[in-house]
Amino acid sequence: MIAVVGSTNMDIVMTVEHFTKPGETQKAEKLELFPGGKGANQAVTVAKLLGSCYFLSYIGNDEYGDFYKDYFMKLNISGFKVVNGQTGRAFIELTKEGENRIIIVEGTNGMLTKESIDENLESLLKNDFVLLQNEIPFETTYEVAKRFKEKNKTVIFDPAPARGIDLRIMKFVDFLTPNETEISELLKSSRKNVNSIDEAFEILKKFGLKNLIVKMGEKGVIFKSDHEKFTINALRVKVKDTTAAGDVFNGSFAVALQKNMNLKKALEFANAAAAISVTRKGAQPSIPTYEEVEKFLKSQN
């Protein structure tokens, strides 16, 4: 079973001609609302692919919280809590080329504390895997990773956004899954010039990291550990919206591991799921089913 601990947002998406420049005002071509948040994206991915997910997240007692309560229940997602406050929001500029720029308002996501973990620890630890991100207080994420590793369970950490992260969490992380921008940001505190993924891994290994997975978009995915290094090639698709592609990758990767796929097959499965997601608009509406991913993989052979 798979747990996710993290954020829930409502994505407010503005389709624009180009990213707005400093001092510029431009008219959005379209305004749309999509369920999002890195934690929720991963939880919905797991639920769509696996049939259920335990998701510890806080949503507000507002209209977006009401929406999520019904939505999560329909997807067989349990564990979330309704609290007094505003559900998190993400304001997204989306260009015609499918690139996005995002501003987060944390809302009730900021209320998910270490004490919340203690209160829900028994339910959390019924799961074999946990997916973590960085849109809730970092000390909460750190605590979850530590508690799961104490029970020899698998921790998958997406360090996004890559700010305010204590690298000592790496000793509790089985798989770290940054993109190129995030790994550069993550290693700024090391005060060393990092020119390759090999060098990045060597630095993070000193903090206890076991496996590094770098998501590189159209350049594919690179896996690096002490024992091996390989690349999963990107799949050719027509990009419509890259929002949540990384989250779909992480959720799909956890599902593939849960289903006992070997590492390379699990990464290929996750890569395919993410590729499908970028051909569709929106964060969670873009997430494929298990059957869709399998069919897509067969079509690539």
- What span, in angstroms and rounded, lies between the C-alpha atoms of 177 and 173? 10
- Tokens found for residue 238: 């027509």
Question: Is 247 one of the catalytic residues?
Answer: yes
Q: Are 90 and 104 within 8 A, CB to CB?
A: yes
Based on the number of CB atoms within 10 Å of its own CB, is 181 exposed (0-12), middle (13-18) or buried (19 or more)?
exposed
Could you give the maximum distance between any two Cα atoms of the chain, in Å? 52
The one catalytic residue among 11, 158, 241, 247: 247
Count of CB atoms situated within 10 Å of the CB of 113: 15
DSSP labels for 92-115?
EEEETTS-EEEEEE-GGGGG--HH
- The helix/strand/coil state of 243 is coil
Q: Nearest 5°: CA angle at 165, between 274 and 53? A: 45
Closest residue by Cα to residue 9 from 47, 52, 57: 57
Alpha helices in 28-113 (DSSP H): 38-50, 63-74
Q: Which residues are catalytic?
A: 247
